[in-house]
Amino acid sequence: MVARWAGLPVLAAVMLLAAACVNPSTDRPPQPSASASGGAQKRIAFFGFAKANSFASATFAGIEDYAKAHGAAAEFFDPNFDAQAQVRQIQDAVTAKRFDVFVVQANDGAAVVPALQAAVRAGIAVVIHFTPAGTRYDTAQPQVDGTVTLVDVPTRNGQTLGELAVQACRSRKLNPCEVAYLEGLKALPLDNARTQAAVGVLKQAPGVKLVAQVEGGYTQDTGRKAMQDILQRDPGIDVVIGSSQAVAGAEAVAKGKQIMYVANGGSRQTVKAVQDGRWFAAYYLPVRTLGAKAAELGLDRARGEQVPAANIMTDVQPGKSLGTKEVLAGVTGEYDE
């Protein structure tokens, strides 16, 4: 979900860097790296957002699960949300020649491009996980030649959030239905692409009125502040969209009000809020399962097998991104906030 989603407090400045994208990937497997020769145990390097981030930790748990079950090993490189530190870690890992597979959750999708190009040239199987690597946020196609993607396309995410909000309005037959959108971070191009997609859906829906569009961030504190500002201007708001953390903060401020919440995130706490009827819906992804899928794609590629170059997270089962109460029945979530 930077995602915004699902607890990704990505630094506001990191996405401002620019880097040129290159041609889309083909399905050709990379040449074996030094560590891949001689039938040695395959090794996966995971460059996650941060070890302290629950989403990244759950992703790594899935990677480890799959690696251990298939005779491989995995290691988490922790940049602690520092985009440049992550770039250096990738560069150092390329030089070390210890890894056959890189799984990369880019804190800055543009800044990592040169390092990923070097990894591909070194024969490392590179899987781009969750956030696109490059400067386009409307496609799952690889933007670095030779890589494999397993991403949540930000514009599709935004469209889905908008559709869920419209469903919420229709569920109570509200006309007009007043909606507030809590953006992630205005400084992030990725968040801006998601916001534009969501707003586009809302503005086209008859009877739906977008009355507030403010930065909600990825913490309960930022969500509380945003909701306080919204309620001062418009106490009759009907629907609120935001990251799962921001929505939790907004809900605490608006106790007693009949507001329907649409959360961008799929933690156990978020799923339960939807199942209990406190929140209308959530954009759900099976995070640990998706970590395992990234490991599968990377190891298959490293072993010379053909794999799809572009993979969309919502296509991986259980695909329940339109997570209303009915859709999430029986789901528990795969990580804690």
| CATH number corresponding to 14-152 | 3.40.50.2300
By percentage, how much of the chain surpasses pLDDT 90? 81
Among the residue ranges 58-67, 112-121, 171-180, 328-337, the one predicted with the least confidence is 328-337
Please state at what angle helix 244-253 crosses helix 268-275, rounded to 10 degrees.
Answer: 50
Report pLDDT for 337: 85
- What value does the mean pLDDT take over residues 316-328? 87
Report pLDDT for 40: 83
| CATH number corresponding to 156-284+319-324 | 3.40.50.2300
Read off the pLDDT band of 4 (50, 70, 90): very low
The CATH 3.40.50.2300 domain(s) of the chain lie at 14-152, 156-284+319-324
How many angstroms separate the Cα of 95 from the Cα of each of 35, 111, 213?
12, 18, 45
Q: Would you say 177 and 208 are in contact if contact means Cβ atoms under 8 Å apart?
A: yes
Report pLDDT for 53: 87
Closest C-alpha among 1, 53, 46 to residue 333: 1
Report pLDDT for 39: 60
pLDDT tens-digit readout, 27-83: 444 444 444 444 689 999 999 999 988 899 999 999 999 999 999 999 999 999 899
> Residue ranges of the alpha helices (H) in the chain?
54-69, 83-96, 113-121, 154-171, 189-204, 220-233, 244-253, 268-275, 287-302
Summary mean pLDDT of the chain: 89
Task: Provide DSSP, 183-204.
Answer: ES-TT-HHHHHHHHHHHHHHHH
The region that residue 81 occupies, defined by phi over 0 for left and psi between -120 and 50 for alpha, beta otherwise, is left
Report pLDDT for 200: 97
Among the residue ranges 17-21, 253-257, 279-283, 326-330, the one predicted with the least confidence is 17-21
| Residue 87 CB-half CA count within 13 A | 16
Q: What is the pTM of this model?
A: 0.83
DSSP state of 314: G
pLDDT tens-digit readout, 104-152: 999 999 999 999 999 999 999 999 999 999 999 999 999 999 999 999 9
- What is the token pair recorded at 110? 């543009």
> How far is Cα 81 from Cα 242, in angstroms, rounded to an integer?
21
Read off the pLDDT band of 7 (50, 70, 90): very low
One-letter amino acid identity for 31?
A: Q
CA angle 59, 63, 64 (to 5 degrees): 115
> In a 10 Å sphere around its CB, with 0-12 CB exposed, 13-18 middle and 19+ buried, how is residue 323 labelled?
buried
Read off the pLDDT band of 188 (50, 70, 90): confident
By percentage, how much of the chain surpasses pLDDT 70? 88
CA angle 306, 311, 315 (to 5 degrees): 125
How many angstroms separate the Cα of 18 from the Cα of each of 112, 132, 137?
10, 14, 14
pLDDT tens-digit readout, 209-228: 999 999 999 899 999 999 99
